[in-house]
Amino acid sequence: MTDSSGCEISRRRSEYLRFIMERGGSVKPMDLAEEFKVDPSTITKAMRELTASGLVNHTPYHRISLTEEGKTCAEFLLRRHRILGLVLCKHGLSRDEACRQAGQMEGSLPRVFVDRMCASLGHPTEGICGEIPPDESCCRNQARTTRRCQD
Ligand SMILES: [Zn+2]
Ligand SMILES: [Zn+2]
């Protein structure tokens, strides 16, 4: 956790990182191409950029895995998505709507606001679409709430 804004990365790239994280930190390029319904060459190009940024390890035709930095980044992206999703869900959106809408909005949400929302929700352990990884600086030594959004 170095900067105050989380990892600066385009929306599509952040979806890729989140997906790899959710699959345990490593996937085959085809998994990404199928999940996001894009051409494998699109994935290759994106992975080349993410490799250059130090977020993934990838040699063409082999598995893609997150680096330590990539994991930290992906954890933040997951937490941001799910915290924002919970906020939206608590304010009238269904879980599906909240998940989708969070995906549209989360890119512009700085870490400092994610942390405040996280605190206001009681550092929740679970969001609308899965677990919320604890954040070293935000959630450590805090009592965390396990209640999730009612649908
Ligand atoms: Zn979601
Ligand atoms: Zn927190």
Residues 3-40 pLDDT 10s: 445 577 888 899 999 999 999 999 999 999 999 999 99
* Strands (E) located in 22-97: 26-27, 56-58, 64-66
Expressed in angstroms and rounded, the spacing between residue 17 Cα and the centre of ligand 1 is: 14
Which ligand neighbours the alpha carbon of 133 most closely?
Answer: 2
Domains of the chain with bracketed CATH:
11-66 (1.10.10.10), 78-131 (1.10.10.10)
Which stretches of the chain drop beneath a pLDDT of 70?
1-6, 150-151
- From the CA of 77, which ligand is nearest? 1
Ligand at minimal distance from the CA of 86 is 1
Q: Which ligand is nearest to the CA of 141?
A: 2
CA-closest candidate to residue 21, choices 2, 41, 35, 8: 35
How do 130-131 and 126-127 pair as beta strands?
A: antiparallel
Instruction: Output the CA 56–ligand 2 centroid distance in Å.
Output: 26
Beta carbons within 8 Å of 24's beta carbon, 6+ residues apart: none
pLDDT at 10: 85
